[in-house]
Amino acid sequence: MKKIAVLTTGGDAPGMNAAIRAVVRTAIFSGAEIVGVEHGFKGLIENRFKQMGLSSVSGIINKGGTILQTLRCPEFHSREKREIAYRNLINNRIEGIIVIGGDGSRKGAFLITKETKIPSVFIPASIDNDVYGTDMTIGFDTAVNTGIDAIDKIRDTASSHERIFIVEVMGREHGFLALEIGLTGGAEIILIPEFKKDYTLEKICNIIIKGIKRGKDSSIIVAAEGFGNIKDWAGKIQKITGLETRYTVLGYIQRGGKPTAYSRKLGLVYGYEAVVSLIKSGKNKSLMVGMQNGKVMVIDMKKVINKEKRIDKKNYDINKIFAL
């Protein structure tokens, strides 16, 4: 394979830069030319290709965000716009493409191969960790650490003032991030969309009141953004329990920042594996790299596309014991 393109798309995730670094250096080591596409799929449509060299990825391993920049690109849903992107790929003599991004981005990578036969490899990177086929996405570990750092700080205020706090974390319509932050941050209650029926307002208030009676000086509730309106819930909880209840939305601080060692390592090993498998793959192959049971795997995209990742119910259940 003579020339490879790499792009980042969807929401940025800490560790994407480590993946770009690995892709660029592995491609050059393997004798291939490598170009970066700026602004994700939009950059493909707008022909924003730039040559990458060994030093173009120097000093980025520790940086959050993505040096190639990223966008959500609804235009890529249109066949007409994709045709423009494909012409640009062909005119730039691209023989293989690596797409770094979240669940939505994977469909884009798969489509490129389906419609052009240019092989693609998808590298999962998202703070949501909601990509089927991999136990871990690049950036998730960093976002979890950012989340628990925030919870630790909020707990100081919660216990000093004997308050209840609801902390909303990201995750779109999934609770992977909320579950991990809630579990490792020691939350009393974790509210996630996957098990919405598990908690009524009454049940939440009972748990809180029982905890206070047992001697707890505060309660932390971690809620996924997809669960519902936490401002509403906070007001109702305060009214029923008579306890001061505050809410905090962590927001975009979860997306940025220095990647943890684990997020960097995933970026590096996924990036390496993506290039090696792309070079070995034939025309018309769309692959994904991922982690399964502690091992880096290369998976045929046909086996994973359009499948929904399930939450680890056991971790959700055992947190109820730890929160006693």
Residue from the set 127, 138, 287, 311 that interacts with ligand F6P by CB under 6 A: 127
Helix 201-213 and helix 230-241, axial crossing angle in degrees, nearest 10:
50
Closest C-alpha to 121, from 130, 133, 12: 133
Residue 27 CB, shortest distance to ligand F6P, in Å, is: 27
> Which tokens in the block code for residue 13?
């995730």
| DSSP β-bridge partners for residue 5 | 35, 97
User: 277-316 mask for ligand F6P (x: CB under 6 A)?
Assistant: ----------------------------------------
Any contact of residue 36 with ligand F6P (CB under 6 A)?
no
Using rule CB under 6 A, residue 40 touches ligand F6P: no
Q: Of 126 and 219, which has the nearer Cβ to ligand F6P?
A: 126
Q: Does 128 bind ligand F6P (CB under 6 A)?
A: yes
Which is nearer to ligand F6P, 53 or 74 (by Cβ)? 74
Task: Please name which of 160, 110, 142, 139 lies closest in space to residue 284, comparing C-alpha atoms.
Answer: 110
- In angstroms, what is the minimal distance from the CB of 178 to ligand F6P? 10
Please tell me what DSSP assigns to residue 301.
G
Q: How many of the chain's residues bind ligand F6P (CB under 6 A)?
A: 11
Q: Look up residue 161 and give its two tokens.
A: 């003032």
**What's the length of the chain?**
324
Task: Give least dist CB 231 to ligand F6P, A.
Answer: 17
Q: Is 152 marked active-site?
A: no
**What angle is formed at CA 32 by the lines to CA 31 and CA 35, rounded to 5 degrees?**
145
Return the bridge partners of 124, or none. Answer: 101
Contact by Cβ (8 Å): 141, 189: no
Q: How far apart are CA 140 and CA 129, in angstroms?
A: 6
Nearest residue to ligand F6P, by Cβ distance, number only: 170
- From the list 261, 252, 251, 183, the residue with the least C-alpha distance to 222 is 183
42 binds ligand F6P (CB under 6 A): no
In the complex with ligand F6P, which residue's Cβ is closer, 127 or 289? 127
Q: Which is nearer to ligand F6P, 129 or 286 (CB)?
A: 129
246 binds ligand F6P (CB under 6 A): no
Catalytically annotated residue among 12, 103, 128, 141: 128
Q: Which of 28, 30, 56, 72 is in the footprint of ligand F6P by CB under 6 A? A: 72
Q: Give the residue among 295, 248, 302 at the shortest CA–CA distance from 135.
A: 295
Cα end-to-end span (Å), the chain = 57
Binding mask 141-180 for ligand F6P (x = CB under 6 A): -----------------------------xxx--------
Catalytically annotated residues: 128
Q: Footprint of ligand F6P on this chain (CB under 6 A)?
A: 11, 72, 102, 126-128, 170-172, 225, 255
